Amino acid sequence: MKNNKRLMTVKVMTSAAMLCISGQASAMKIVGNASDSSDLAGFELEIYGYARLNASYDIDEDISSGARAGNFSLINTGSAEDNEITGIFGADAYQTRIGILSTHSSGLKIKVEADFETNGNGLRLRHAYGEYMGILAGQNWSNFTSFVGYTPVLDFDALPGSPGAQFRTPQVRYTMGPLALSIEEPLSYNGLIESNGPPDPVDGTRSVGDNEDEKDSLPVFAARFEDTAGSVSYSAAAMVRKVDYDNGTTDDSAVGYGAFGAVSLALTDTVTLHGAINYVKGGGVYLYRSGENYAAVDGYVTENGDLELIGGYGGTLGVSVDVGPGSVNVGYGFTEVDWDDGEKDLGADAVADRHENNSSILANYQWSPINQVVFGIEYGYFKVEEVGGDEGDANRLLFAAQYNF
């Protein structure tokens, strides 16, 4: 009898979802019957997401990645800027997203969300976690991340220097009011550089390899405090991690760490300022959009097998102004990676093409003709400065249309 009742409940939920899909686009919510004695009593199920088109026009060179985001690694530098192909148009809908959020009257919350990989090869898991009594377990935004201080932009990859990692990771988190503590899977994007022996006796150059023999022996520990006071929202966080090198015969380790602060200030009902500042050592992915695009390397290994960590800092500054039916948003972001010791230990030629500074300016206008629809157009300026002194920049336009349900 109980199984029959549960089957009937599932059929009713399916019918309700189909009716919502065929009707006006809106959040689809199914509410369990509190008088139902089945396991589904007290649950609310919400299906949400959006369909989104991103279209870009790269004015002076093609730096578009999936979802038409600007990619720092594709910017030509030095003499290569003379070989640029100009005027490139492209569009895709890979950012399209779908999610399921289930809540229970007991306070239990379960969320599963996916979008389409930026190369369009299939669904990519974004969130998959449960939360009860302040304890979250699963994959969610890193606790060393915040959207306080975030300037609204259309570019999928946002501004360099945004607070924290800006990536999702498996974790266990405990939240007590504005304070959250977490143990997380370490995020390592480019890993380590390893010196492959002494310098060449003729020209003095060294051969180096990327992603060499880095291992994770401990999780990342992160703490964040985030709150609002009147017209000010603020966030501050710190993280610590252990970086290990082990090639089977030689090993070394070091402690990496990072911290950020972010704030949004509503000056008036129509004007809001946003800002953030970050510092990280031994975790390039936690300094967002440093390195060749997303992350600088965590460190390097000398010819003697010693592990040295690389540090860097970054920040953002932006303003949002309500104008007409929408808002104007202008943001600047940058990252600066300290390669001084790396140049000495690895040789200038070995790291000459590494990104020392990434920066961008994004200016857009976004508006909503109705609640479920958002349109926007954005101008983006991207600049790269390499350790060896070469520079490059690019200008582009981006259009977005998003339909929410």
- Tell me: the pLDDT tens digits for 291-308? 999 999 999 998 888 999
> What number of residues does the chain have?
405
Per-residue pLDDT at 145:
97
Per-residue pLDDT at 380:
98
- The number of helices, as runs of H, and strands, as runs of E, in the chain is 3, 23
C-alpha 383: how far from chain center: 19
Which residues in 267-372 belong to E strands, given as ranges? 271-281, 299-301, 307-309, 311-323, 326-337, 355-367
Q: Does residue 44 contact residue 25 with C-beta atoms inside 8 Å?
A: no
In sequence order, which residues have a C-beta less than 8 Å from that of residue 260 and are 6 or more positions away?
A: 144, 146, 163, 164, 235, 236, 237, 276, 277, 278, 279
Condensed to tens digits (0 to 9), the pLDDT of residues 334-389 reads 999 999 999 999 889 889 999 999 999 999 999 999 999 999 999 999 999 999 99
Per-residue pLDDT at 314:
98
Per-residue pLDDT at 336:
98
Per-residue pLDDT at 39:
61
Q: Does residue 284 contact residue 187 with C-beta atoms inside 8 Å?
A: no
In sequence order, the β-bridge partners of residue 138 are 129, 171
State the pTM of this model.
Answer: 0.87
The H-or-E segment that residue 5 falls in is helix 2-22
Per-residue pLDDT at 205:
43
Domains of the chain by residue range = 42-404
Per-residue pLDDT at 24:
37
Per-residue pLDDT at 61:
93
The Cα–Cα gap between 91 and 163 comes to: 28
The Cα–Cα gap between 278 and 297 comes to: 16
Per-residue pLDDT at 129:
98
Cα angle at 152 between 326 and 136, to 5 degrees?
A: 125
Compute the chain's Rg from CA coordinates.
24
* Superfamily of chain region 42-404: Porin (2.40.160.10)
Structure tokens at 343: 């140049």
Per-residue pLDDT at 38:
57
- For the chain, residues with pLDDT lower than 50 are 1-25, 197-207
Per-residue pLDDT at 367:
97
Q: Does residue 349 contact residue 308 with C-beta atoms inside 8 Å?
A: no
